[in-house]
Amino acid sequence: MNEELNQHLSQLLDDELDYQVALNLLQKMHTSPELKSTFARYATISHALKTDQFLPVPPNISENIAQQIAQEATYLLPQHKPAGHHYKRAALAASVAVVAVLAARGVNLPPLPATAPEATSLQVAQKTPAKPEGQTIANTALQPEDPYPLNARISDYLEAHNNSVYTGEVDVDFRPLTKETSYNQR
Amino acid sequence: MNVLIGIFACLLLSAANPLAATPQQPPAAKNALTTMLKSMQTLNYQGTVVFLRDGKLEPMRYINAAAQGREQERLISLNAPLREIIRDTGNASNLLKTTRQRNTGNRPFEYSFLIDMPNNLDDLDANYTLSVLGEETIALQPAYIIGIQPKDQLRYARKIWLQKEHFLPLKATVYNHAGKTVEQLVFTELIVKDTLPFANTQPVKNDIMQSNAANSAEAAFIIKKLPSGFRELFFTRRPLHNSTQLVDHLLLGDGLALVSVYMEHATASPPSTNTSKTVQSLGAINFFSQTLGAFEFTVMGEVPSETVRLIAENIKLREKK
């Protein structure tokens, strides 16, 4: 009997056991600490054989997990209904169609780059200087690396110029948007 | 006979009101703006206005109270830094709610937080062309679009959307020469009321008086030649940087655009923001700094960079008598 149970334990670990037999075995493990201990030992041996690594598993790991699951909060929010079979079929059909089209065109998908090209181009676009404001301005360039920050003096000037708009707190906020313009005298 | 009298009376009424336009025939641009100025000064109205400046949005509550020849405007910020700005018949109080510190300044050249225009719109004729560009709905209210096109490259173009019912401004936009919006305000809702309360603007103990008008002849500098249409509006000399160092401030305007010229001792200034002799800009504001003798000059305003540079190049130290 023990020999048969041990064989079932081994099959269970290899996912070769019949569903009903596996269920009966798990029920027996639930009531037999000895069987449970044997299962843990088999699992450790199996893991070591398959991965060449030994991970010591505490004998009471399953109880601990069961206890933690029992202590988990129960969420009463409505759950999304699983997608119906027709969605799965549609998704499968779409995937097959894409594969068929790509195969028909003989497209070789390039390997994924280390950084997404879209992100790179976006970053470049953000750093691109704005267009010059008029045709009379011959040479316009953003100089974000201006060593001198927009200082308190300019902030005070702005406030004095139009105190309904500027409140003396512009030196920090406005700095990234400051741009410099040069032009040729007519 | 009665029919003829009726028709004659209708014609008289139409002639008396230049804005009595049919839906197919919009009013003349200058008439519409004249009515706008009158409505802004005499009607009680409030709403939420959003300012777009330098790519930043700032929503504010706007209240205009008018009664018995008195007018008071209030702007209350909806986001931090919390502040309330009150303009009461020529005085602009800038109340910073975060500190409860109130700065009071006399700014007789300002007529409105929304749109500043001369009472006599003929003053704009030399430098701007006014026209009705069409109609549009703003904040669920039908509006006329008034275009203000400069006649040279020294100022920006503008558009104003005027509510058809009362000719109050619902939206105003400033465009640079490339046609890009550099400044904008738009009401998300605007309601005209029979009456609105005035806020208390009595001076309080901790008020800081920011500016009193002085004679521009006291300025230590002159501007040899102003761009067409610009004239001196206001001059003051006062400390600006929380110090005893006085700064000369001369305000110029062409009826729509304002330009400030500041002068202070170069040694008293923090490091210059401008070492490359270029015009810098913040949204519609362009500014340029230069040193002349022992003084640092900065010119800034809602005008193209060329105008700022032109004014800066014409600054000259006043000769001592």
Q: What is the pLDDT of residues B241-255, one digit of tens each?
A: 766 778 889 999 998
Q: Could you please report the per-residue DSSP string of B37-93? A: HHHHHH-EEEEEEEEEETTEEEEEEEEEEEETTEEEEEEEESSSSPEEEEEETTEEE
Mark yes or no for CB contact B309/A185 under 8 Å.
Answer: yes
Burial class (CB in 10 A: 0-12, 13-18, 19+), B232: middle
Angle between helices A2-13 and A33-51 (to 10 degrees): 40
- Picking from B286, B280, B177, B176, the residue whose alpha carbon sits closest to that of residue A178 is B280
Residues B77, B50: Cα–Cα separation, whole Å: 10
Which residue of B62, B180, B243, B273 to mutate against A (max A Cβ within 10 Å)? Answer: B273
Total-model pTM: 0.60
- B18 pLDDT above the threshold of 60: no
Query: Which residues in chain A have Cβ-Cβ distances shorter than 8 Å to B281?
Result: 133, 178-181
B178 touches chain A (CB under 8 A): yes
Out of 1.10.3720.10, 3.40.50.1820, 3.90.400.10, 2.50.20.10, which CATH number does the structure's domain B18-193 have?
2.50.20.10
Q: Which of B105, B272, B283 sits opposite A163 (nearest CB)?
A: B105
- Picking from B199, B190, B146, B148, the residue whose alpha carbon sits closest to that of residue B168 is B190
- Picking from A69, A68, A71, A46, the residue whose alpha carbon sits closest to that of residue A57 is A46
Per-domain boundaries in chain A: 2-71, 131-182
How do residues A9-64 score in pLDDT, each as one tens digit? 888 888 888 888 888 888 888 888 888 888 888 887 777 776 656 566 666 777 77
Q: Quote the pLDDT of residue B206.
A: 65
Q: How many residues does chain A have?
A: 186
Identify whether B18 is preceded by a cis peptide bond (ω within 30 of 0).
no
Split at pLDDT 50, 70, 90, the class of B276 is low
The residue with greater pLDDT, B298 or A43, is B298
Q: Quote the pLDDT of residue A169.
A: 46
- Tell me which chain A residue has its CA closest to the CA of residue B234: A161
Min Cα separation A166/chain B (Å): 10
Q: Quote the pLDDT of residue B227.
A: 92
Q: Quote the pLDDT of residue B209.
A: 62
**Per-residue burial over B152-170, b = 16 or more CB atoms within 10 Å of its CB, e = otherwise:** eebbbbbbbbbbbebbbbb
B279 touches chain A (CB under 8 A): yes
Min Cα separation B131/chain A (Å): 23
Kindly state the average pLDDT of the residues B257-280.
72
- A118 pLDDT above the threshold of 80: no
If one counts every other C-beta atom within 10 angstroms of the C-beta of residue B71, the result is: 21
Q: Would you call B20 helix, strand, or coil by DSSP?
A: coil
Q: Quote the pLDDT of residue B4.
A: 53
Per-domain boundaries in chain B: 18-193, 213-317
Kindly state the average pLDDT of the residues B198-209.
72
Rounded percentage of chain B residues whose pLDDT exceeds 90: 44
- A99 pLDDT above the threshold of 50: yes
Strand pairing category for B101-106 and B91-96:
antiparallel
Q: Which of B178, B249, B272 sits opposite A148 (nearest CB)?
A: B272
Min Cα separation B189/chain A (Å): 20
Q: Which of residues 215-254 of B touch A (CB under 8 A)?
A: 240-241, 249, 251
Task: Give the list of residues 6+ apart from residue A184 with CB closer than 8 angstroms, or none.
Answer: A138, A139
How do residues B153-191 score in pLDDT, each as one tens digit? 999 999 999 999 999 999 999 999 999 999 999 999 999
Split at pLDDT 50, 70, 90, the class of B100 is low
Domain B213-317, CATH: 3.30.200.100
